[in-house]
A and B are shown apart, each in its own frame.
Chain A
Amino acid sequence: MKSPPIVPLPVPSVRAYDTPNDAGGSITVEWELSPVDSVVRMYEVYRLEGSPEAEPVSAGFVLRGTQKFQDNNLKDGETYYYFVRTWVGEEYADSRLSNPAVPSAQWFHTGRKSALVILLIYGGLLFYYLQQARSGKPLYIRKIAGLEAVDEAVGRSTEMGRPILFIPGIGYVSDIPTLAALAILKRVAKKAAEYEAEIIVPNFDPIVMTAAQEVVKEGFMEAGRPDLYNEKNVYFLTADQFGYAAGVDGIMVREKPGAVFLQGVFYAESLILAETGHSIGAIQISGTTSVTQLPFFIAATDYTLIGEEMYAASAYLSRDPLSLSTIKAEDVAKLGFIAVFLIGILLETLAAITGNQALHFFKNWFSLF
Chain B
Amino acid sequence: MMRRTIPLIITFISGILLVFALFIPHKPFGNLEERFNDWYIIVSGFTMILGMDSLLLHHWNKIRRRQADWFHSAALIVAFAVTLVWGFYSGIKVGNPFDPKSTFLQYFYTYVFVPLQATMFSLLAFFIASAAYRAFRARTLNATLLLVAAVVVMLGRVPKGSGASVVLFGIALVALAVGLVLHGRSLVDLRGQLLAYGGAALSILAIIPIAKYFPTYLPAVADWIMNIPQLAAKRGIFIGIALGGIAMSLRIILGIERTYLK
Contact = CB atoms under 8 A, between A and B. Distances in A.
Asked if A and B form a direct contact in the complex, defined as CB atoms under 8 angstroms apart, the reply is: yes
B225 to A, nearest CB: 13
A99 interface: no
B30 A242 contact: no
Interface stretch (A4-12, A80-88, A229-237): A229-237
A174 B252 CA distance: 11
Query: Quick one: which of B25, B120, B246 has the most chain A CB within 10 A?
Result: B25
Interface string B31-67: 1000000001000100111111011011001000000
A67 interface: no
Nearest to A125: B247
Contact of A236 (B22, B52, B120, B244): B52
B25 A126 contact: no
B58 to A, nearest CB: 5
Contact of A112 (B23, B68, B127, B131): B23
A23 B50 contact: no
Given A109-B24, A205-B44, A214-B260, A240 B55 contact: no
A179 B259 contact: yes
Contacts, number: 195
Interface string A249-273: 0000010000000000000100110
A215 to B, nearest CB: 6
Interface in B63-92: 68-69
A346 interface: no
A180 B131 CA distance: 27
Contacts of A241: 117
B172 interface: no
Q: Which applies to chain A's interface (DSSP): helix, strand, loop or mixed?
A: helix
Interface size class of A (residues with CB under 8 A): 35 or more
A326 interface: yes
B26 A311 contact: no
B52 to A, nearest CB: 7
A268 B121 contact: yes
A108 B117 contact: no
Query: Quick one: which of B48, B234, B241 has the most chain A CB within 10 A?
Result: B241
Contacts of A310: 244
Contact of A306 (B123, B237, B245, B246): B237
Contact of A182 (B69, B123, B259): B259
A324 to B, nearest CB: 11
Contacts of B123: 272
B251 interface: yes
Given A24-B26, A299-B136, 17 more contacts: A23-B27, A24-B27, A105-B26, A106-B25, A109-B25, A115-B23, A116-B23, A180-B248, A205-B51, A206-B54, A242-B121, A289-B241, A298-B135, A300-B131, A307-B237, A323-B257, A326-B247
28 contacts: A23-B31, A105-B27, A107-B24, A112-B23, A119-B246, A122-B243, A176-B252, A179-B260, A180-B248, A182-B259, A206-B48, A206-B49, A207-B47, A207-B50, A209-B51, A214-B262, A235-B54, A236-B51, A299-B135, A300-B127, A300-B135, A307-B241, A310-B244, A311-B241, A311-B247, A314-B257, A327-B247, A334-B240
